[in-house]
């Protein structure tokens, strides 16, 4: 019997009964094919990890204008939807459950991905840093500030993407509202200096998040929709003058919608993305009455302790799942973990993607 009983107990998320509290965190891997179409290798990759209570896919562009990452998949064309169907079938054949993460990169895309056009954002504020484009590293540019009509069109794109995800056989979708992408850019005042109904107070800055969430819930069902937030994260040059006020308001409003879960990434001390700010996740946990997921630097012992303490219902593991397709079995038996090869995180091909050994193979 495992030494981590809470982590291995079943849990209900929306209409789904998860056999354990393991969530595979969304991780961009850059293995999609031409035209952002998922590949057979991706079906194998996710199928190998189907023992997790819930799999969340890598971030997936909702539209050509929302893309901006080499090798990232999309969910806006018939070819993409058909290819994703092979991924969901591979997971479901192994009795797994899988959500598609919906993504719009906003200001951290680049004209090289957009036919020369500008990326979009809430305000004309460029992020510091570089995009990895087909022509190499290039500095982020100042985005085109979205008009209200353009915002409404993107909300519609999210709803269409959710319908496409359902058609592809997914069990639900997660809105990527974290890590400095478009929804997060609206939420935090470091990137949002608007003076209309989408900027200013936390209430106005959360409007885009809530409109997208409501549209996606209406396109499918609220209990098939999760949301991911990163209240103190500084990835993609993000900051907020009062994360506690911003994210407490957003969480209270999301709590009214009957969502599948709220997924908060706020890495623990010692994690490479930890930010030394007062944590906001505990207050978000109190404000959100549905399933609550934590992510960022957890091992089995820390995950089990967090669940036992009521800090979270589920724990999302990123890097451990990347290098260990059979992470659930390894934690169950106390087996040693494979070390990740960070040099192959985003490289094309199977190396560092499909060649991590599983326990039976490792013993053989």
Catalytic residues: 181
147/121 Cα distance (integer angstroms): 10
Tell me whether strands 54-61 and 22-24 are parallel, antiparallel or unpaired.
parallel
User: Of 120, 130, 18, 20, whose CA–CA distance to 62 is shortest?
Assistant: 120
The percent helix, strand, coil of the chain (3-state, each to 5) is: 35, 15, 50
Sign of the four-CA dihedral 110, 113, 117, 122 = negative
122/310 Cα distance (integer angstroms): 36
Residue with tokens 């056989």, as numbered in its chain: 169
Measure CA 200 to chain center. Answer: 26
Of the CA atoms within 13 Å of residue 82, those in its CB half-sphere come to 4
Angle of helix 78-93 relative to helix 148-167, nearest 10 degrees, comes to: 40
Residue with tokens 């959500």, as numbered in its chain: 99
Cα distances (angstroms) measured from residue 241 to each of 124, 168, 280 = 18, 40, 13
CA-angle at 154, arms to 149 and 157, nearest 5° = 135
DSSP state of 230: -
3-state secondary structure of 169: coil
8/23 Cα distance (integer angstroms): 11
Specify which residues 228 forms β-bridges with: 176, 263
- Ramachandran class of 63: left when φ > 0, alpha when ψ lies in -120 to 50, beta otherwise: beta
37/33 Cα distance (integer angstroms): 5
Residue with tokens 């961009």, as numbered in its chain: 28
């Amino acid at each position: 019997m495992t030494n981590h009983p809470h982590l291995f107990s079943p849990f209900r998320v929306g209409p789904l009964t998860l056999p354990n509290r393991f969530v595979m965190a969304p991780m961009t891997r850059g293995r999609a094919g031409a035209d952002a179409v998922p590949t057979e290798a991706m079906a194998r990759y996710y199928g190998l990890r189907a023992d997790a209570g819930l799999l969340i896919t890598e971030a997936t562009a909702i539209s050509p204008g929302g893309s901006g990452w080499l090798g990232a998949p999309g969910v806006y064309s018939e070819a993409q939807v058909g290819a994703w169907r092979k991924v969901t079938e591979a997971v479901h054949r192994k009795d797994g459950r899988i959500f598609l993460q919906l993504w719009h990169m906003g200001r951290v895309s680049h004209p090289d991905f957009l036919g020369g056009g500008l990326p979009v954002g809430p305000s004309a504020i460029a992020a510091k840093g570089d995009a990895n484009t087909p022509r190499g590293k290039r500095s982020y540019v100042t985005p085109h500030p979205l008009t209200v009509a353009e915002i409404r069109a993107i909300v519609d794109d999210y709803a269409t993407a959710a319908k496409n995800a359902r058609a592809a056989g997914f069990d639900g979708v997660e809105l990527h509202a974290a890590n400095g992408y478009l929804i997060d850019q609206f939420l935090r005042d470091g990137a949002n200096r608007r003076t209309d109904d989408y900027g200013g107070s936390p209430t106005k800055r959360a409007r885009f998040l809530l409109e997208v969430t409501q549209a996606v819930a209406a396109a499918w069902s609220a209990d098939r929709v999760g949301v991911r937030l990163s209240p103190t994260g500084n990835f993609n040059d993000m900051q907020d003058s009062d994360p506690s006020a911003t994210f407490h308001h957003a969480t209270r409003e999301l709590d009214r919608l009957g969502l599948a879960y709220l997924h908060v990434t706020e890495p623990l001390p010692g994690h490479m993305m930890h930010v030394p700010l007062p944590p906001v996740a505990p207050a978000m946990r109190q404000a959100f009455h549905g399933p609550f997921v934590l992510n960022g630097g957890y091992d089995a012992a820390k995950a089990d302790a967090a669940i036992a303490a009521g800090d979270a219902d589920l724990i999302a593991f990123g890097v451990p799942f990347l290098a260990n397709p059979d992470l659930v079995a390894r934690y169950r038996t106390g087996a040693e973990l494979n070390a990740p090869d960070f040099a192959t995180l985003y490289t094309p091909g199977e190396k560092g993607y499909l060649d991590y050994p599983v326990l039976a193979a490792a013993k053989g």
